[in-house]
């Protein structure tokens, strides 16, 4: 019984100690506002000024910006202006005007500000330096079609025609030296030969660079009014790089031009070269049984360790193309359960259209490796697990706006700080850490002594024994999702930040109680008030000897 009586107060005091220490640690880190760059338009246009404004996040009415300067691609804008000229920029305190809208003005912009009047949750008012998360600005455009992809079709035709004749050597030299002779023989034509009843795939070669993308693609047929895509007829399917026509018939033959439209600028480009679709009569059924599955698009098979990478934005639609001849087409997803794929319901989120896989409203859970298998139409024993059939692998990467998470924990023994900065929704870009407006790698010597650091991974980790008198801001900032791929959408153009203010002192307990109780002499029956003013903590309590009160210990004593 004596042992039990001894253990109870010991455990009780241990719990009180843990609760007290936890309150002390939390009271040393406080939330801070964020610097946000507001812009009137996310894309640059030539001869149209863009105004960037450096502002504090809402909810910090007492705080104000004292001084502001700008950064472009990690370098002070004043230094950049000395390199490329000052005529493209006008700096007016927290405002930056970009006048030119040229390619040299593209990049990641940040603002750095000295912020005063920041009231922390403990009611203390501080001054600190903050860095905004970056915003990526790109110039909206649609370039011309790239004609360097033209093939020397006439050279190929002449080479094939005269192979084996007395002119073969001359045309062989011509065909294999197109870089010398090609410009004199190039014709703007590309042939696509397809059997009736099969799927034709018309390429849009030399696609323009379109910002923001994705571009809208359709095809015009010579002599026919209008532009063909799935909006016109369900027999057509417009993809990111071409057009598919299902169940080709003789009337589909003809010459097609690719039309590309930038939805943002409303500009269009028409391909200078055309694709000539040639349909041939279907072969009889008996001869088809001898033909194995043949991959049409993509043009070559690949392996699972070298898939075709397709980048897409969350909540958008994506089409993974797969065109076969003489094949039954099956899709699978690797590394997990293959989702349910509809073959007939056009409203289904995941649907197989002919041989293609269409996913609407993609989410990050849709990311992964997909494979398209071409199985024999007449061999029921064939399986996707066999290695004797053609297949194509895709790697679907779904991009979403980035986010950050900053953690600061203190070691009980040596009082060192353990810092962890995690950037979310990024594959390989690493986050940025700033201390009082200076990058962590440069500021770490001013904070204290670093026992371990890891600056080049996600998350960034560091263990620092902070000096007793250190205080200031620590920021974890992510990069824009646009830094990782040619993707466009709301929120992808900017990073995010998680900011904390740290107060470190030699005696943390002394800072928690701002005014303690004083000795009071009273007669029996009188009321006594003991005042204890504390900072914002999780729990506060009163001790009398080894006992403590919660809300009401006994009659007549209140907290």
Quick: pLDDT tens for 457-492: 999 999 988 776 778 999 999 999 999 999 999 999
Q: Are 116 and 64 in contact (CB under 8 A)?
A: yes
Residue range(s) in the chain whose domain bears CATH number 2.60.40.10? 29-139+401-504, 188-282, 288-399
Which pLDDT does position 47 carry in this prediction?
85
Give CA separation, 146 vs 5, 298, 433, 543, in Å: 87, 20, 41, 81
Cβ pair 481, 440 in contact under 8 A: no
Average pLDDT over residues 324-343: 91
The pLDDT score that the predictor gives to residue 211 is 95
Domain spanning 188-282: CATH 3.40.50.720: no
CA 139 to centroid of chain Cα atoms? 19
Predicted confidence at residue 505, as pLDDT, reads 59
The more confidently predicted of residues 304 and 385 is 304
CATH number attached to the domain at 288-399:
2.60.40.10
Question: Of 120, 119, 113, nearest to 63 (Cα)?
Answer: 119
Query: Quick one: which H or E segment has residue 324?
Result: strand 323-325
pLDDT at position 413: 74
pLDDT for the residue numbered 2: 43
Residue 545: CA count within 13 A, CB half-sphere: 2
Q: Is the separation of the CB atoms in 237 and 321 below 8 Å?
A: no
Statement: residue 250 has pLDDT above 50 = yes
What confidence score (pLDDT) does residue 168 get? 44
Tokens of 206: 């030399």
Q: What is the pLDDT of residues 138-178, one digit of tens each?
A: 999 999 998 754 444 434 444 444 444 443 444 444 444 44
Its CATH architecture, for the domain 29-139+401-504, is Sandwich (2.60)
pTM for the predicted model, two decimal places: 0.77
pLDDT at 124 over 50: yes
Write out pLDDT tens, residues 531-543.
Answer: 787 765 556 666 6
Overall average pLDDT of the 94-123 stretch: 93
Residue 58 has pLDDT above 90, yes or no: yes
- Give the percent of the chain with pLDDT over 70: 79
pLDDT tier at 544, thresholds 50, 70, 90: low
Residue 20 — very low, low, confident or very high, per pLDDT cuts 50/70/90? very low
Mean pLDDT of 121-142: 95
Label each residue of 33-59 as H, E or C. CCEEEEECCCEEECCECEEEEEEECCC
pLDDT at 328: 92
Cβ–Cβ < 8 Å for 108, 133: no
């Amino acid at each position: 019984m004596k042992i039990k009586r001894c253990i109870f107060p010991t455990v009780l005091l241990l719990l009180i100690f843990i609760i007290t220490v936890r309150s002390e640690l939390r009271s040393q880190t406080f939330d801070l506002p964020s610097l946000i760059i507001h812009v009137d338009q996310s894309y640059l246009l030539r001869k149209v000024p863009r105004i960037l404004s450096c502002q504090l996040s809402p909810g910090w009415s007492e705080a104000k910006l004292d001084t502001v300067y700008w950064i472009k691609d990690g370098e002070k804008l004043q230094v950049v202006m000395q390199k490329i000229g000052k005529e493209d920029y006008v700096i007016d305190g927290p405002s930056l005007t970009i006048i030119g809208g040229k390619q040299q003005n593209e990049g990641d912009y940040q603002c750095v500000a000295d912020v005063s009047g920041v009231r922390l949750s403990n009611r203390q008012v501080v001054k600190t330096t903050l860095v905004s998360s970056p915003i990526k600005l790109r110039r909206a455009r649609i370039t011309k079609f790239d004609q360097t992809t033209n093939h020397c079709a006439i050279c190929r035709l002449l080479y094939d025609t005269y192979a084996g004749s007395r002119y073969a050597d001359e045309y062989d030299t011509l065909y294999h030296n197109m870089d010398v002779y090609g410009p004199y023989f190039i014709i703007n034509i590309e042939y696509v030969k397809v059997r009736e009843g099969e799927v034709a795939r018309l390429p849009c070669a030399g696609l323009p660079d379109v910002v923001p993308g994705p571009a809208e693609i359709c095809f015009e047929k010579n002599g026919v009014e209008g532009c063909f895509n799935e909006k016109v007829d369900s027999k057509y399917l417009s993809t990111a790089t071409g057009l598919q026509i299902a169940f080709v018939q003789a009337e589909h033959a003809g010459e097609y031009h690719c039309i590309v439209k930038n939805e943002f600028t409303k500009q269009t480009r028409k391909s200078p070269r055309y694709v000539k679709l040639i349909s041939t009569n279907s072969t009889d059924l008996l001869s088809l049984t001898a033909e194995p599955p043949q991959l049409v698009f993509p043009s070559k098979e690949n392996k699972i360790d070298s898939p075709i990478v397709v980048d897409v934005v969350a909540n958008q639609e994506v089409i993974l193309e797969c065109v076969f001849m003489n094949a039954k087409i099956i899709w699978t997803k690797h590394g997990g359960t293959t989702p349910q794929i509809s073959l007939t319901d056009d409203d289904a989120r995941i649907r197989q259209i002919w041989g293609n896989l269409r996913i609407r409203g993609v989410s990050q859970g849709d990311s992964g490796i997909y494979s398209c298998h071409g199985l024999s139409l007449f061999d029921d024993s064939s399986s996707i697990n066999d290695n004797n059939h053609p297949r194509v692998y895709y790697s679907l990467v779904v991009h979403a706006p980035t986010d950050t998470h900053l953690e600061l924990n203190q070691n009980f023994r040596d009082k060192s700080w353990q810092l962890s900065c995690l950037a979310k929704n990024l594959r390989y870009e690493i986050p940025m850490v700033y201390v009082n407006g200076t990058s962590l790698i440069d500021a770490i010597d001013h904070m204290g002594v670093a026992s371990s650091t890891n600056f080049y991974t996600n998350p960034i980790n560091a263990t620092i024994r902070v000096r007793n008198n250190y205080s200031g801001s620590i920021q974890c900032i992510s990069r824009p999702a646009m830094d990782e791929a040619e993707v466009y959408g709301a929120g992808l153009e900017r990073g995010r930040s998680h900011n904390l203010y740290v107060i470190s002192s030699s005696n943390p307990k002394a800072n928690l109680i701002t005014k303690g109780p004083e000795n009071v002499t009273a007669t029996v029956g009188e009321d006594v008030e003991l005042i204890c003013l504390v900072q914002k903590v999780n729990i506060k309590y009163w001790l009398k000897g080894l006992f403590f009160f919660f809300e009401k210990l006994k009659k007549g004593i209140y907290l």
